[in-house]
Structure 1
Amino acid sequence: MTTRTDTSESPPIEGRADLLSVFEKGEKPKDRWKIGTEHEKFVYRIEDHRAPSWEEEGGIRDLLTALTDFGWKPVIEADKIIALTGPDGTVSLEPSGQLELSGAALDNLHQTCAEAGRHLNQVKAVGEKLDLGFLGLGMWPDKTRDELPWMPKGRYGIMRRYMPNKGNLGLDMMQRTCTIQTNLDYSSEADMVLKFRASLALQPVATALFANSPFLEGKPNGYKSFRSHVWEDTDPDRTGMLPFVFEDGFGYERWCDYVLDVPMYFVMRGTDYHDVAGKSFRDFLEGKLEGLEGDTPTMADWLDHMSTPFPEVRLKSFMEMRGADGGPWSRICALPALWVGLLYDQNALDAAWDLVKDWTIEEREELRSSVPKLALEATVPDGRSMQEFAGAVLDIAEAGLTTRARLNSSGDNETGFLDPLREIVASGKTPADRLLDAYHGEWNESVAPVYEHYSF
């Protein structure tokens, strides 16, 4: 989740134009489009597979502190190190100590994969010293909520109290899930709208291809992507397939209204988090926020609030693709390859939209609901299996990457980063299917071997 790293004074919001300016200022010409990749992993003690706390010796605090040896700068909240910043982006903590790299904005996928490699080599080096391992899955395979620690970030305490009031699985989202995410640019409002519609409709494809969370508390949970299912019972005020995105007139104004109507979590003043969970940002704009009467928001408050809706595509000053489970090294590079191929070439984007533009909202919702359980075995609205449909989507993405023609020093373009996804479609086996095959076969109905086989 987003960590505020800039604590400098923020200008006040003087009107609606300031709210919209975040989206407008995100517009960039095509030659300045970048790629940002975020990936999370579970941290565990090698000796007993326990999730370490922040404060214990050799725990999460010491992990972050040791990473400063690689040039990372600490981010401090209430005298505690809770994140790091550096040329490769931000290293931050999810609520129960999942470690995230929010990577820098880069020009091509070769740079993206190199960045991921640097980060993973650094955390592995520190892990060897601290007896810590790092697991690439979408869901803790064996931990109960009570077995997991909480990180000392003020917003997490507020969310922890609020989540159970809105759904049954919100705490699971916070404590037991990991994801890979891709952040991309747009050139205009019209370009944003087309990318938003195409990518939101196609998120189930990413969910299916990256499905990697079939276990819960040591046993199969009935899903290929339980992480994706968790979002269906987290908080209906801030999740879902967003039917209004596909309606005439969608754009910055409509997105702004949606975010304004999402209930708040917190307001940060200095280093203090004020619990305003469930309250209205519209009231805040009018100085009528209960508990902070007379106070009005700054642009930093707006940026904080924009990080609290959780749909599978989210707009800030860039677009976030949020539908994939966490996974191993190769799939960190594969997710941005999928979305860059689909969205950064106009012919590919048009072809992707043609695949889904005639789907009804009911069909989109049905697909979103079926994919967490069925993955590649789900049926898309045109009657094809998800396996066949995903192959067609990968063909479009490959064509888009070929047209981009971004080469590395060996003369290779970016299409090779799709190879792990090609293998999944060709075999019909998602990562979750392979985990389940191992569980019912060589692992003798135990999830313990996952630490040996799926750690970085």
Structure 2
Amino acid sequence: MSNPGDADTREITSVSDLAAYLESGCKPAQDFTIGTEHEAFGFRHADTTPPAYEGADGIGALLQAVQVRDGWAPILDNGNIIGLKGKGGASLSLEPGGQFELSGATLTDLHATKAELDAHIARLHDITPGLGLGFAPLGYHPTASRAAMPWMPKGRYKIMRAYMPKVGMRGLDMMLRTCTVQVNLDFASEADMVAKMRVASALQPLATALFANSPFSEGKPNGLLSNRAFVWTDTDNARSGIPAVIFQDGFGFEAYANWLLDVPMYFVYRDGVYHDVAGASFRDFMAGRLAALPGERATIGDFADHSTTAFPDVRLKKYIETRGADSGHPAMILAQSALWAGIFYDPAALAAAQALVRPLSHQQILALRAAVPATGINTPFGQGTLRDLAKEVVAIAAEGLKARARLNAAGEDEQQYLVPLQEIAAGGPAQAEHWLARYHGAWNGDVTKIFAEAAF
């Protein structure tokens, strides 16, 4: 989730202003970049419990230590340091339960993404031993109950905490006990955006299956491979899932803006204060009819904030966010970025992916989304399973990365980052299946062993 502070104070006069705001993200293909965001659960080495914000071994202390080490600028919320801004647009932030997130800079190739991830891990290795902490990138907290999770001191989270139980059964679990990997990618035009949104939305169930990494809850197997994805099926369906509008005739910037306007609001941010307007209409806000802030009218900055409170599996801002994957092993974090960059950033690869998913109806995609939390890559699909689709999709991505021909110092292109997905497509276990085998084997049923083995 975002940190506060979009300063665009232009007043909204019509929906076309919002479409223009989204369209302003268009850029030439030669300027396309890759941004990767990934989250991890903190744990105390002494007992594997999640750290609070406060205290000498707390998340706040970690942020302060990073600030001293790297000189990143603090992001404050009511006097509390809740994030850091680094160079090139990178930032560190906190999810509600203290999940630690790197929102990476916009980078030109996957080799730079790997270098950024390596530097992040090195940062944690340097600082966390002195705090007695570790960080494990997993899709769902494997041991802690909801009540055992801490709450971070961010104003928007207080509003969401009160609102979530009114609109779904698992919203608080989403906030406190899930971690994801998100890839941010660019588009050149409205038509390019539409093609990428449709391909990415159709393939999100496959991504969930490939990156499934949350088979445990409260110390035991939960019967699922991606409990994180299951949680999202009953969080707040008015703002999440795979919206039908993406596949409707005439979809474009204005159609997406209109969908966003019908997503209930959470807050209005003014002068450092989050005003609780949960459930209110953004259309009323545009018209100055919010009961909590009478006469106050929405700005483009408010719309940008509001766009961060919609949680579809693929989200449109001034770029596209693919959001359907569990957090996981560093090689899998890189594989997520490689998958979408390979498909999105080569015209032939994007066309091949479009042809592959074109026969799928919205209802078929939703059915796959509902099935994959339990059956993952083995979910029935066509005459086979999603593993068959994975072979085709990963091959398309590999061809796209080959065509990009972005080489590292050793002369290697970006295809190398797809190897973990190629292994799963060829019959290897997903991360969740690997952990289940460890649970039933070497761990002798002790889920806490996952922290040491999964940690950065």
Tell me if both proteins adopt one fold, taking TM over 0.5 as the criterion. Answer: yes
SS at match of 1:114: helix
1:96 matched to which residue of 2? Answer: 97
1:403 matched to which residue of 2? Answer: 403
Q: Distance in 2 between matches of 1:323 and 1:361?
A: 16
1:258 matched to which residue of 2? Answer: 259
* Equivalent residue letter for 2:431: P
Q: Distance in 1 between matches of 2:337 and 2:376?
A: 20
Q: 1:200 to 1:318 in 2, by over 3 A?
A: same
1:223 matched to which residue of 2? Answer: 224
Shift of 1:5: 4.2
Q: Deviations over 1:386-405 (max 9, x none)?
A: 11210111000000000000
Q: Deviations over 1:248-281 (max 9, x none)?
A: 1111111000000000000011111110000000
1:107 matched to which residue of 2? Answer: 108
Is there any run of 5+ residues in structure 2 with no aligned partner, and where? Answer: none
SS at match of 2:312: coil
Q: Deviations over 1:313-347 (max 9, x none)?
A: 00000000001000011111110100001111111
Shift of 1:304: 0.4
* Equivalent residue letter for 1:185: D
Q: Deviations over 1:188-211 (max 9, x none)?
A: 000000110011000111111100
Shift of 1:87: 1.0
1:156 matched to which residue of 2? Answer: 157
SS at match of 1:349: helix
1:32 matched to which residue of 2? Answer: 31
1:330 matched to which residue of 2? Answer: 331
* Equivalent residue letter for 1:30: A
Q: Distance in 2 between matches of 1:153 and 1:362?
A: 37
Q: Distance in 2 between matches of 1:349 and 1:94?
A: 33
Shift of 1:222: 1.1
Q: Deviations over 1:420-453 (max 9, x none)?
A: 1112222331100111111111111120110121
2:135 matched to which residue of 1? Answer: 134
Shift of 1:17: 3.1
Tell me, yes or no, if structure 1 residue 14 matches structure 2 residue 49. Answer: no
Contact 2:15–2:257 (Cα < 8 Å) also in 1 = no
Contact 1:180–1:324 (Cα < 8 Å) also in 2 = yes
* Equivalent residue letter for 2:48: H
Q: Deviations over 1:271-319 (max 9, x none)?
A: 1111000000000000001111100112211110001111110000000
SS at match of 2:240: coil
SS at match of 2:38: strand
Q: 1:117 to 1:143 in 2, by over 3 A?
A: same
* Equivalent residue letter for 2:122: N
Shift of 1:18: 2.4
Q: Distance in 2 between matches of 1:193 and 1:9?
A: 26
Runs of 4+ in 1 over 4 A off after TM superposition: none
2:59 matched to which residue of 1? Answer: 60
1:50 matched to which residue of 2? Answer: 49
1:450 matched to which residue of 2? Answer: 450
* Map 1:179-218 → 2, pairs under 5 A: 179-218=180-219
Q: Distance in 1 between matches of 2:292 and 2:5?
A: 25
SS at match of 2:223: coil
Contact 1:376–1:428 (Cα < 8 Å) also in 2 = no
Shift of 1:50: 1.4
1:436 matched to which residue of 2? Answer: 436
Contact 1:387–1:428 (Cα < 8 Å) also in 2 = no
Q: Distance in 2 between matches of 1:438 and 1:328?
A: 15
1:424 matched to which residue of 2? Answer: 424
SS at match of 1:81: strand
Q: Distance in 1 between matches of 2:432 and 2:21?
A: 38
Contact 2:41–2:136 (Cα < 8 Å) also in 1 = yes
Q: Distance in 1 between matches of 2:386 and 2:2?
A: 32
SS at match of 1:427: coil
* Equivalent residue letter for 1:114: A
Amino-acid identity (%): 48
Q: Distance in 1 between matches of 2:104 and 2:260?
A: 25
Q: 1:185 to 1:246 in 2, by over 3 A?
A: same
Tell me, yes or no, if structure 1 residue 269 matches structure 2 residue 270. Answer: yes
SS at match of 1:42: strand
Q: Distance in 1 between matches of 2:245 and 2:284?
A: 23
Contact 1:260–1:282 (Cα < 8 Å) also in 2 = yes
Deviates more, 1:359-368 or 1:134-143: 359-368
SS at match of 1:322: strand
1:281 matched to which residue of 2? Answer: 282
Q: Deviations over 1:336-383 (max 9, x none)?
A: 100001111111111111111111222111111111110111022x32
SS at match of 2:355: helix
SS at match of 1:408: coil
Shift of 1:133: 0.3
Contact 1:201–1:356 (Cα < 8 Å) also in 2 = yes
Q: With structure 1 as the length reference, what TM-score do the two structures score?
A: 0.98
Q: Distance in 2 between matches of 1:16 and 1:253?
A: 7
Q: Distance in 1 between matches of 2:173 and 2:91?
A: 24
* Equivalent residue letter for 1:228: A
Contact 2:388–2:425 (Cα < 8 Å) also in 1 = yes
Tell me, yes or no, if structure 1 residue 311 matches structure 2 residue 316. Answer: no
Q: Deviations over 1:54-112 (max 9, x none)?
A: 11222011000000121211111111101000115010000010000111111000001
1:166 matched to which residue of 2? Answer: 167
Q: 1:189 to 1:156 in 2, by over 3 A?
A: same
Q: Distance in 2 between matches of 1:420 and 1:361?
A: 29
SS at match of 1:27: coil
Deviates more, 1:31-40 or 1:14-23: 14-23
Q: Distance in 2 between matches of 1:430 and 1:149?
A: 29
Contact 1:5–1:75 (Cα < 8 Å) also in 2 = no
Contact 2:96–2:175 (Cα < 8 Å) also in 1 = yes
Tell me, yes or no, if structure 1 residue 392 matches structure 2 residue 388. Answer: no
* Equivalent residue letter for 1:46: H
* Equivalent residue letter for 1:94: E
Please give the root-mean-square deviation of Cα atoms over the aligned residues, in Å: 1.1
Is there any run of 5+ residues in structure 1 with no aligned partner, and where? Answer: none
Q: Distance in 1 between matches of 2:145 and 2:126?
A: 28
Shift of 1:11: 2.7
* Equivalent residue letter for 2:430: T
Q: Distance in 1 between matches of 2:110 and 2:15?
A: 36
